[in-house]
A and B are shown apart, each in its own frame.
Chain A
Amino acid sequence: MHEELIAALKAFLPDAVEDTTVFRNELTIQIKKSAIKDVCFFLRDKHGFNYCVDILGADRFTEENRFEVVYNLMNLSTKTRLRLKVRVDENDNHLPSVVSVWPAANWFERETYDMIGVVFDGHPDLRRMYMPEDFEYHPLRKDFPLIGVPGSIPLPEFDKKATNKDAGERYNRGEQI
């Protein structure tokens, strides 16, 4: 069944498939970056992959093709799963959005953009998902420190009452990380 899918994909777009892996009966196809949207439309319409389970990013921390975006798809009628992988370079971190294929991809792509920093072209509302909107970094990149960048996220001001002459000494102010 995996071979049929790969053959159909290769017949549809001969250049799109870069690599295929079968591990424990799970099929993973590595797709060329420019072809991802066409491949997704093809898989949804012709092969019934109507459920976008998840989209996520990984930082491989290599010189070339640093980021990898993984699409987990599922065919709900035949209960088969498929994994697509696309590699994106750090200097050219743009990728076509697949929100027009599966609307569920909206928030997944926002999350990937927030955490890894891959920009999805054609996304209707590409804002950060978890971090504050004026945050400058992408936390799941390997070169981001675990404790964060000091002062990069604003904290609320300390209680004004505590700055009074007698109250100021009483409270433990702590220190900003």
Chain B
Amino acid sequence: MSQTNPFGDGFLTTTMDAITNWARANALWPMPMGLSCCAIEMMAMAGPKYDVSRFGSEVFRMSPRQSDLMIVAGTVTYKMSHVVKKIWDQMPDPKWCIAMGACSSSGGMFRSYPVVQGIDQFIPVDVYVPGCPPRPDAVIHALMEIQEKIKNQRYSFRDAILTEEGLAKLDKLADAEKERMSIKA
């Protein structure tokens, strides 16, 4: 880098948000929610040919406590939806979700009574991947979209260290500032 640095060599200046986002985006640990045939493509994505470890996501955790990206791969039935939701709730914040394949995105070809017509009815989905099943490179593309989304987040460091009370205090301060700046009639 040709930038001049007031601290000399060996130092980089950045913002806490940028470095938090950089750390989060390049170490997304997926929770494999493999429910049907999409799970095979998800395994292929983690395997040596497509090799998702190039993007820092090779650590598939079987425990929701240790993961921050849920890949819902397959058909979600009404019976299974409660399990998916429970696992999603067990994942620590911040967390992201990929709806992999037509079934989890919209019910897919199963337009019938036992299948949930899209998991976005009970889980906030970040990226939908079309396909039946999608190819592994499509899922890697979805992962890169989530990395892009994380890198564009604001206040990620502040939100990570602040408690609920701190956030409420910040909101109060912002409101007071707004009140002060507004033009009184």
Contact = CB atoms under 8 A, between A and B. Distances in A.
B43 interface: no
A163 B115 CA distance: 25
B124 interface: yes
A156 B122 contact: yes
B120 A172 contact: yes
Contacts, number: 63
A144 B113 contact: yes
A136 to B, nearest CB: 12
A177 B117 contact: yes
A146 B114 contact: no
Contact of A159 (B117, B118, B123): B123
Contacts of A170: 124
Contacts of A161: 93, 124
A139 interface: yes
A155 B122 contact: yes
B111 interface: yes
Interface string B97-129: 000000000000001111011101111110000
A157 B117 contact: no
Contacts of B123: 158-159
Interface of B: 78-79, 81-82, 84-86, 88, 93, 111-114, 116-118, 120-125
Interface of A: 130-132, 139, 144-149, 153-159, 161-162, 167, 170-177
4 closest A-B pairs by beta carbon, nearest first, are A148-B113, A156-B85, A171-B124, A153-B78
